[in-house]
C-alpha cells in the first residue's frame, strides 16, 4: 500500500507518528504501508518510490529543514506530478479545512479519485461540502473514500456507524462536537470569565488565534453536516445547518444553570424532519446527569438514538496530533480489510 | 445467505424481529438473509429450504404452538440433520450460556465449523471457555466466527475494537458489564435495600430467578474473559478471572460513598501484568463524575485506555430482546462486508 501525504503540519506529523507506532500491529494484519511522497508548501516535498522514512521526515519537519533534504528523495512540483508517475495507491489528504470553498483539499481529492487512487482524509471541507458528489465519483472510479478523522478526530464514530450500528436504525444523533467550546463552558462553570477561558484555550492549543470557527459553531456545524449526509443519507448544504455559537452566554446564564443542576453545552443535533433531516448547532441547557452534561473539558461525545438499541453513547478526544493521526491508521486498516489494496 | 437458528427463546425471537425490521437496510447493502431452519427443544423445530417466514415463526412461538406447524416446513431431528443436508451457510447459535461446560453451544459451534459454516453467536459459554480453540478451527476451515452479542449485547463494542480501535494500542479496559448489578446498586443509592432491589430487578426481567450468575459476578467475569482473550490476545481461563460479587455491600457502604461524592460499581478490569493480562471483577468505589460512576440503571459501559486516543468510552444497553437481536444483524452484515457469504 503506497501512500501520498498531502499536508505535513500537525495532523500529517501525527499520522506519521501513528504509522510508526502501529507498524507491528499493521504488519500482523498483513498491511505494510509505504509512504512514497509527501507534499507540503510550508515544509517541503519529497518523493521516493522505495519509501520515505517517517522518522526522518519528522526529524526534518520539526527542525525546520525542507523535506526535500530527505536522503534519496526526488524533488517534486505538486500532486499532479506524483499522480502522473503512477507511484501510489492511496492519497492521504491532510490539508487544513476551508468551509467556504473546500480548497485546496477538494481539488486534491478529485484529482486522486480521477487517477484511480483511494482517498483517506481528515479534512472536513471536501466531505462537508461535496460528499455525495465525491462518493459518486469514487464509486464510478472503483475506489474508496474514507474520512474517519473529520468527526471527533480519531475517536471511531464513523466506523461505529458503518459497522456496529448498521441495521440498528439510527433515528437521531446529538452530541458535543467542538472541544474548544466544551473546554470554555467547563471553565466558565468554575467561575472563569468567557474571555479568560478563551485565552486559556488558545494557550493550551485548543483554540486558534482566530477562534470564530470554534466559538461561532462553524466547526461543529461542519461535523453535524457530515453526520447528516454521510451517516443518515441527508442532502444538506452547510447553510442548511442552523448555527448559534457560545459567545452570547454570560456568566449569569452559567451560574443560573449550575444552581439548577443544569449545564450549558454547545449541542449538535440531527433529527428527522418531514422526509429529510434537520441539522442544528446551538447552546442547550442539559441536565448534569445527561451524558452531554457530564462531559467536561475538551472531550467530544455523540449519542445515537436507535430503534434496536435505544441510546448508544461514545466519547473520546475531539482533536490532537496523535488522536487525529490515528484516524488515518484506522482508515488504512479499513481499506485493507475491505480488500481495496 | 442461508441461516440456521439454534435457540428460539428471547434472544432468538429478538433476532428474528431485528432481521424483519432491518430487511430493507440489509437489502440496500446487498444482503438478503434467508432463515432455512430453526431448532429449539422447547418451541419446536422446522426446516424449509425456500425460507421460513420470521413473522410466522414469531406468531407460533409467542402463541405456544410448535414451530413444526409452520406451513411447508419439514420436521427435523436436530442440528446434525440440518448440517448433513448442506442447506445453510451460517449457524446462528442462540442457546443459553453455561460457564461450566459451554454446552450445548460449544458442540453446536464445533459441528457447524466442521461442516464449513460461518458461526454467529450471542452465547458467552463457547467464546469465554474455548475462544482460541474455536478461532483456530474456524481459520483452518476457512470460515468466520463472530460473537458481538456476547459482551454488552448489541452495543457494538467488539466491532469497535476490531475496526476503529485497531492500531490505537489498547493498554487496558475497564467497565460495567452487568446491568442487573448496576440496576441494584443504583436502587440502593436511592435508599432501597439490597433484597428489595434484587426482587425489583427480577420483576423487571433484568435478573434470573437464581440471580447468582449476575450478583456473584460470573456474567461480568465471562465478558471480561472474552475481552481479554479476543481483544487483547490473552490466554486466560474462567478461573483466572478474580471475581467478587456485590452481595457483600451494605446500605451503610452505599451511604458513606454517596456522602463522599462516590458510588460503588461492579467493575470489570483487564490490565497488562507481566507478559500477559490480569482480569478481575469486583465492587469498586468510583467518583460520581467518572464515566463508570455516572452510569445508572441497567446500562453497560466500557472505557478503553489507548495509546493514540487516550480514553474512549462507549455505553449502551447490556441486555434486552431487541438489543441482543441487533448483535446478530450486525454480525451478519459484517460477514457480508468481509465477503464471507
CB-closest option in B165, B169, B317 to A156: B165
* Sequence-ordered list of residues with C-beta below 8 angstroms from that of A290, at least 6 positions apart, any chain: none
- Residue A339: is its pLDDT beyond 90? no
Specify the pLDDT at position B235.
Answer: 97
- The answer to whether residues B100 and B230 belong to one domain is no
Share of chain A above pLDDT 70, in %: 100
Specify the pLDDT at position B338.
Answer: 87
Calculate helix-pair angle for B194-203, B179-189, nearest 10 degrees: 130
Q: What are phi and psi of A243, to 5 degrees?
A: -140, 120
Domain count, chain B: 2
Q: Cis check for the bond before A178: say yes or no (omega within 30 of 0).
A: no
**Radius of gyration for chain B, computed over Cα atoms and rounded to the nearest angstrom:** 20
- Residue A30 sits at the chain B interface (C-beta within 8 Å): no
The sign one gets for the Cα dihedral B47, B53, B54, B60 is: negative
Q: Does residue A223 have an active-site annotation?
A: yes
- The answer to whether residues A297 and A180 belong to one domain is yes
| Residue A48 within any structural domain of the chain | yes
> If we measure between CA atoms, which residue out of B211, B280, B279, B204 comes closest to residue B247?
B211
Q: Are B325 and A328 in contact (CB under 8 A)?
A: no
* Sequence-ordered list of residues with C-beta below 8 angstroms from that of A89, at least 6 positions apart, any chain: A1, A2, A3, A117, A118, A341
CA distance B324 to B64: 22
B84: closest CA of chain A, how far (Å): 31
Burial grade of A239 (CB within 10 A; 0-12, 13-18, 19 or more): exposed
pLDDT confidence tier of residue A75, bands split at 50, 70 and 90: confident
Specify the pLDDT at position A188.
Answer: 96
Distance of CA A264 to the CA centre of its chain: 24
**Catalytic-labelled residue, pool A174, A223, A243, A321:** A223
- The answer to whether residues B71 and B208 belong to one domain is no
Q: What is the length of chain A?
A: 341
Burial grade of B339 (CB within 10 A; 0-12, 13-18, 19 or more): exposed
Per-residue pLDDT of chain B (341 residues), as tens digits, is 999 999 999 999 999 999 999 999 999 999 999 999 999 999 999 999 999 999 999 999 999 999 999 999 998 889 999 999 999 999 999 999 999 999 999 999 999 999 999 999 999 999 999 999 999 999 999 999 999 999 999 999 999 999 999 999 999 999 999 999 999 999 999 999 999 999 999 998 888 888 999 999 999 999 999 999 999 999 999 999 999 999 999 999 999 999 999 999 999 999 999 889 999 999 999 999 899 999 999 999 999 999 999 999 999 999 999 999 999 999 999 999 988 78
| Residue A270 within any structural domain of the chain | yes
Specify the pLDDT at position A268.
Answer: 98
| Residue A186 within any structural domain of the chain | yes
Q: Which residues of chain A lie closer than 8 angstroms to B315, CB-CB?
A: 291, 312-313
**Catalytic-labelled residue, pool B146, B174, B223, B265:** B223
> If we measure between CA atoms, which residue out of B132, B156, B80 comes closest to residue B330?
B156
| Residue A160 within any structural domain of the chain | no
Task: Identify the closest residue of chain B to A291 by CA–CA distance.
Answer: B294
- The answer to whether residues B101 and B173 belong to one domain is no
Would the CB atoms of B21 and A330 count as touching at under 8 Å?
no
- The answer to whether residues B179 and B311 belong to one domain is yes
Eight-state DSSP code of residue B73: P
Q: Which residues of chain B lie closer than 8 angstroms to A148, CB-CB?
A: 164
Lookup: cell for A185: 463552558
HSE, side-chain direction, 13 A CA sphere, residue B285 = 11
Calculate helix-pair angle for B124-141, B105-114, nearest 10 degrees: 10
pLDDT confidence tier of residue A206, bands split at 50, 70 and 90: confident
The residues that bridge with A314 in the sheet, in sequence order, are A302, B314
Pairing of strands B242-243, B262-273: unpaired
- The answer to whether residues A311 and A330 belong to one domain is no
Q: Are A207 and A201 in contact (CB under 8 A)?
A: yes
- The answer to whether residues B48 and B110 belong to one domain is yes
- Residue B1 sits at the chain A interface (C-beta within 8 Å): no
CATH of the domain at A261: 3.30.360.10
Would the CB atoms of B313 and A315 count as touching at under 8 Å?
yes
CB-closest option in B21, B312, B316 to A169: B21
Task: Identify the closest residue of chain A to B291 by CA–CA distance.
Answer: A294
CATH of the domain at B40: 3.40.50.720
- The answer to whether residues A184 and A274 belong to one domain is yes
A158: closest CA of chain B, how far (Å): 8
- Residue A205: is its pLDDT beyond 90? no
Question: SS3 for B270-329, per residue?
Answer: EEEECCEEEEEEEEEEEECCCHHHHCCCCCEEEEEEECCCEEEEEEECCCCHHHHHHHHH
Mutate to test the interface with A, among B144, B150, B163 (most CBs of A within 10 A): B163
- Residue B295 sits at the chain A interface (C-beta within 8 Å): no
| Residue A304 within any structural domain of the chain | yes
Q: Give chain B's end-to-end CA distance (angstroms, integer).
A: 6
Q: Which residues of chain B lie closer than 8 angstroms to A155, CB-CB?
A: 164, 309, 312
CA distance B141 to B1: 18
Alpha helices in A244-320 (DSSP H): 251-259, 291-294
Q: What is the length of chain B?
A: 341
Specify the pLDDT at position B206.
Answer: 85
CB-closest option in A26, A169, A322 to B308: A322
For range A170-182, the mean pLDDT? 97
- The answer to whether residues B57 and B10 belong to one domain is yes
For range A46-58, the mean pLDDT? 96
- The answer to whether residues B115 and B236 belong to one domain is no
Q: Which residues of chain A lie closer than 8 angstroms to B25, CB-CB?
A: 166-167, 169
Q: What is the ipTM of this complex?
A: 0.96
Eight-state DSSP code of residue A74: B
What residues make up the domain containing A112? 2-155+321-337
pLDDT confidence tier of residue A245, bands split at 50, 70 and 90: very high
Specify the pLDDT at position A338.
Answer: 87
Lookup: cell for A333: 486498516
Pairing of strands A2-6, A262-273: unpaired
| Residue A46 within any structural domain of the chain | yes
pTM: 0.96
- The answer to whether residues B175 and B301 belong to one domain is yes
- The answer to whether residues B71 and B145 belong to one domain is yes
Specify the pLDDT at position B299.
Answer: 96
Q: Are A326 and B167 in contact (CB under 8 A)?
A: yes
Pairing of strands A170-176, A300-306: antiparallel
Amino acid at each position: 500500500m503506497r501512500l501520498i501525504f498531502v499536508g505535513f503540519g500537525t495532523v500529517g506529523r501525527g499520522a506519521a507518528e501513528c504509522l510508526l507506532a502501529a507498524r507491528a500491529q499493521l504488519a500482523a494484519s498483513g498491511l505494510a504501508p509505504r509512504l512514497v511522497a509527501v507534499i507540503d508548501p510550508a515544509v517541503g516535498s519529497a518523493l521516493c518510490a522505495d519509501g520515505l522514512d517517517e522518522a526522518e521526515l519528522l526529524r526534518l519537519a520539526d527542525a525546520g529543514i525542507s523535506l526535500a533534504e530527505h536522503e534519496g528523495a526526488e524533488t517534486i512540483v505538486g500532486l499532479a506530478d506524483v499522480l502522473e508517475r503512477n507511484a501510489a495507491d492511496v492519497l492521504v489528504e491532510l490539508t487544513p479545512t476551508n468551509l467556504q470553498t473546500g480548497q485546496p483539499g477538494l481539488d486534491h481529492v478529485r484529482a486522486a479519485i480521477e487517477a484511480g487512487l483511494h482517498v483517506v482524509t481528515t479534512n472536513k471541507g471536501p466531505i462537508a461540502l461535496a460528499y455525495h458528489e465525491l462518493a459518486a465519483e469514487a464509486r464510478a472510479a472503483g475506489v474508496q473514500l474514507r474520512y474517519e478523522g473529520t468527526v471527533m478526530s480519531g475517536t471511531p464514530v464513523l466506523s461505529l456507524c458503518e459497522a456496529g450500528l448498521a441495521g440498528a436504525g439510527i433515528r437521531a444523533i446529538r452530541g458535543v462536537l467542538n472541544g474548544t467550546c466544551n473546554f470554555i463552558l467547563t471553565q466558565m462553570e468554575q467561575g472563569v470569565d468567557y474571555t479568560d477561558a478563551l485565552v486559556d484555550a488558545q494557550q493550551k492549543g485548543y483554540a486558534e488565534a482566530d477562534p470564530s470557527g470554534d466559538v461561532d459553531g462553524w466547526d461543529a456545524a461542519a461535523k453535524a453536516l457530515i453526520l447528516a449526509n454521510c451517516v443518515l443519507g441527508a442532502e444538506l448544504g452547510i447553510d442548511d445547518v442552523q448555527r448559534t455559537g457560545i459567545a452570547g452566554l454570560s456568566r449569569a446564564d452559567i451560574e443560573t444553570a449550575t444552581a439548577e443542576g443544569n449545564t450549558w453545552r454547545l449541542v449538535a443535533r440531527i433529527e428527522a424532519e418531514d422526509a429529510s433531516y434537520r441539522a442544528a448547532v446551538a447552546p442547550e441547557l442539559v441536565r448534569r446527569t445527561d451524558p452531554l452534561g457530564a462531559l467536561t473539558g475538551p472531550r467530544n461525545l455523540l449519542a445515537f438514538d436507535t430503534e434496536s438499541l435505544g441510546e448508544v453513547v461514545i466519547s473520546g478526544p475531539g482533536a490532537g496530533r496523535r488522536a487525529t493521526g490515528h484516524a488515518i491508521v484506522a482508515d488504512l486498516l479499513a481499506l485493507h480489510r475491505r480488500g481495496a489494496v
